[in-house]
Amino acid sequence: MKPRHKRFAIIVGGLAALGIAATLVLNAFQSNLVFFFTPTQVSKGEAPKDRTFRIGGLVKEGSLQRTDITARFVVTDTAKEIPVSYTGILPDIFSEGKGVVAQGSLGADGQFTATEVLAKHDENYMPPEAKAAVDQAHEASKTLKQ
Amino acid sequence: MSQRLVNWFKFASPATFYPLAGKAWPWFAALGTAFAAVGLWISFFVAPTDFQQGEGYRIIFIHVPASWMSMFIYCVMALWAAIGITFNTRLSGMMSSALAPTGALFAFISLWTGALWGKPMWGAWWVWDARLTSELILLFLYLGYIALTAAIDDPRRADKAGAIVSLVGVVNVPIIYFSVKWWNTLHQGASVSMTKAPTMATTMLWGMLIMALAFWMYSIAIALYRVRAIILERERHATWVAELPEMQA
């Protein structure tokens, strides 16, 4: 083995060992790396009970009610739902059917009281006309199915 | 060994690379300027408004290419580090040092533009989610590399220490890239990736890709420009430097 082959082998071996170490560490911290819990995870009891945590999902269509500056809405991941109440200013792109992340705590009655609400944007970028076309196509396919 | 390998290594010598870099960098700078002009024009005047975010989405024309560059430059630094340790070439360390400030700049731009977008869209300047945190670690890795190599007086030893930092830190790059897939993050998933069709309007995509090209050209140009300065500084006692036409004056 020439010295340079040896050095190269050390680099490859070192990187492989680091990669494995990083994978193991990240796996161990899996639950701490999650930014939010989905309603399904909450219903399974995976969310922490003694401290505040974040829930994330979609704002259920037609569930948003505002009284003064208190907003009530339902967060859904299409399988499970959690009702949320929040007093404060909602972000600009917060709307029904869109992603949301709320921080707060879950009451015994299953009501989530949020202290902070963040809007989660998705990866879709398109002009309003394209959005209208997509919605139309969506509606059309719905009617066809029925 | 074969003739091919000898030719390949010819430019590993600072004396031959210095004039090559001098010839090449103005071309990359010119290309970068041209791409940036076209890219910015598309970004601000041609690309349509987003259906949900309004005009605020236009930050992606800077944010996404800057984030890509910040990750890619780190990979290139790690590659130079591996070459430098394996073949003991002096130029590798100089290339790494030349790239680090540009990488740090792009990591900073990525975090800064992200914060400016996050406040109106998410409702927060900063959140500790996996994507944002790992990108912040990348910025610290760049700063750590720069500080470490600057702290060691002997350039060859500085290069070795820096090479180890770049190789160890490179595990962070896939973590940044896949963080939005592996964990629940506030940051959205990738709109553009190798594995699926892009989820954005074509004009927006073109603007972003052309801006990415502009950033590539800028990075190459500035790295070549900077490596020339590093070569001159380190080789100032060499005969070939004294014989350079620009040293005669």
Percent with pLDDT over 90 in chain B: 60
On whether residue A130 sits in a domain, the answer given is no
As given in the structure block, the two tokens for residue A8 are: 């190269």
ipTM score above 0.90: no
Distance from C-alpha of B132 to C-alpha of B139, rounded to nearest angstrom: 11
* Residue written as token pair 């919605």: A135
Q: Is B3 within 8 Å of chain A by CB?
A: no
Residue B76 Cα, gap to closest chain A Cα (Å): 15
Between A34-38, A102-106, B189-193, the lowest mean confidence (pLDDT) is in B189-193
A49 and A112 inside one domain: yes
A113 and A44 inside one domain: yes
A94 and A74 inside one domain: yes
A51 and A29 inside one domain: no
State the pLDDT at residue A66: 86
pLDDT in tens, A105-116: 888 888 898 888
Q: Which of B120, B127, B189 is opposite residue A123, by nearest beta carbon? A: B189
Distance from C-alpha of A131 to C-alpha of A74, rounded to nearest angstrom: 24
The domain tally of chain A equals 2
Q: Which of A8, A33, A127 is opposite residue B48, by nearest beta carbon? A: A127
pLDDT in tens, B199-242: 788 888 899 999 999 999 999 999 999 999 999 999 888 888 88
Contacts for A142 with CB less than 8 Å, ≥ 6 apart: none
Domain span at residue B134 reads 61-231
On whether residue A38 sits in a domain, the answer given is yes
Selected residue with higher pLDDT from A22 and A131: A22
On whether residue B83 sits in a domain, the answer given is yes
State the pLDDT at residue B140: 95
Chain B residues in contact with A119 by the CB 8 A cut-off are 121-123
A46 and A88 inside one domain: yes
Taking the model in full, what pTM does it have?
Answer: 0.86
Res. B8 pLDDT band, cuts 50 70 90: low
On whether residue B100 sits in a domain, the answer given is yes
On whether residue A131 sits in a domain, the answer given is no
| B123/A91 touch (CB, cutoff 8 Å), yes or no | yes
On whether residue B24 sits in a domain, the answer given is no
What's B168's DSSP letter?
Answer: H
Mean pLDDT score of chain A, rounded to an integer?
83
A45 and A108 inside one domain: yes
Q: Is B116 within 8 Å of chain A by CB?
A: no
How many separate helices (H) and strands (E) can be counted in chain A?
4, 6
Domain span at residue A108 reads 34-120
CATH of the domain at A59: 2.40.50.140
3-state secondary structure of B54: strand
The domain tally of chain B equals 1
Residue B127 Cα, gap to closest chain A Cα (Å): 9
Chain B residues in contact with A93 by the CB 8 A cut-off are 52-53, 121
Distance from C-alpha of B114 to C-alpha of B174, rounded to nearest angstrom: 19
State the pLDDT at residue A144: 62
pLDDT in tens, B163-195: 999 999 999 999 999 988 888 888 888 887 767
A70 and A109 inside one domain: yes
